[in-house]
């Protein structure tokens, strides 16, 4: 039996497409056509990942997300036709692990699923994290490239540590500002964050003008890309 995935979406053709595609890749699918049904199925079936559409007929998708997060840490990937930044930011702030905008390619969806599942494996965070040639030693608070130490300021280190520990996930401006500085979410603070991300990229990236590790999610936040896996 493959990894169990719950799809909460009121559109039958979308559920069918996802079921056929994901079952072909070895996943086991559970379906729910309403938010309330999805909440019940989550409690009963204990899925290992949830695909949640925000446009549900009975309950607002963000409300469903909040209810799910009140009793489960299962990774939740939000599906939405809404492209506005505030909806995406709200979904991430309410506990979504990632989001994907409809219409989407199955290749992208499968990649996002693999990342979410990889980081959902219950385990203690390893003391040493590796991203290509970059290594972060959490116990020593040390970052190296090919065994050469990269000197980071305390704030730069805290930013990189957060991004690394949550690699593959979008971290919103609000989350980063609160975790590193305790700041409220405003335009001045966002500018401050952009400056420090720029400093960090100059030290971490091979080419800061074309970042490959620390990616910007416009208007939302940042994501540290984990190493590619087969």
Domain ranges of the chain: 4-118, 128-224
Whether domain 4-118 has CATH 3.40.50.2300: yes
Tell me the mean pLDDT in the region 209-224: 92
pLDDT for 17-75, tens place per residue?
999 999 999 999 999 999 999 999 998 999 999 999 999 999 999 999 999 988 888 99
Could you tell me the strand order of the sheet in which 128-131 lies?
A: 128-131, 134-137, 142-145, 148-150
The H or E element containing residue 141 is none
Q: How confident is the model at residue 228 (pLDDT cuts 50, 70, 90)?
A: low
Rounded Cα distance between 99 and 113, Å, is: 10
Reply yes or no on whether the pLDDT at 136 is more than 80. yes
The per-residue pLDDT for 95 is 87
Q: What percent of the chain has pLDDT over 90?
A: 52
On whether the CB atoms of residues 18 and 132 are closer than 8 A, the answer is no
Reply yes or no on whether the pLDDT at 184 is more than 70. no
The per-residue pLDDT for 132 is 87
Q: What is the CATH number of domain 128-224?
A: 1.10.10.10
Residue 142 main-chain phi, psi, to 5 deg: -130, 135
Tell me the mean pLDDT in the region 155-164: 92
- Sequence-ordered list of residues with C-beta below 8 angstroms from that of 11, at least 6 positions apart, any chain: 53
The per-residue pLDDT for 125 is 56
CB atoms within 10 A of CB 211: 18
Q: How confident is the model at residue 230 (pLDDT cuts 50, 70, 90)?
A: very low
pLDDT for 62-85, tens place per residue?
999 999 988 888 999 999 886 678
């Amino acid at each position: 039996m493959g990894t169990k995935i719950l799809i909460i979406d009121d559109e039958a053709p979308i559920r069918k497409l996802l079921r056929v595609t994901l079952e072909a890749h070895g996943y086991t699918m559970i379906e729910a056509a309403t938010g309330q049904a999805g909440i019940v199925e989550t409690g009963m079936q204990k899925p290992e990942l949830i695909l949640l559409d925000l446009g549900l007929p009975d309950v607002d998708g963000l409300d469903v997300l909040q209810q799910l997060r009140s009793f489960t840490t299962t990774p939740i990937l939000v599906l939405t036709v809404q492209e506005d930044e505030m909806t995406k930011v709200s979904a991430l702030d309410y506990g979504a692990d990632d989001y994907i905008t409809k219409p989407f390619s199955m290749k992208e969806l499968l990649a996002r699923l693999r990342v979410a599942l990889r980081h959902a494996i219950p385990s203690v965070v390893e003391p040493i994290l590796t991203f290509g040639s970059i290594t972060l030693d959490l116990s020593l608070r040390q970052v190296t490239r090919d065994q050469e130490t990269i000197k980071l300021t305390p704030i730069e280190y805290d930013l990189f540590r957060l991004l690394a520990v949550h690699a593959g996930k979008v971290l919103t401006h609000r989350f980063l500002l609160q975790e590193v500085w305790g700041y409220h979410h405003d335009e001045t603070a966002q500018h401050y964050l952009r400056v420090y991300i720029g400093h960090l990229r100059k030290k971490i990236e091979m080419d800061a003008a074309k970042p490959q590790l620390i990616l910007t999610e416009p208007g939302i936040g940042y994501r540290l890309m984990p190493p590619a896996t087969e």
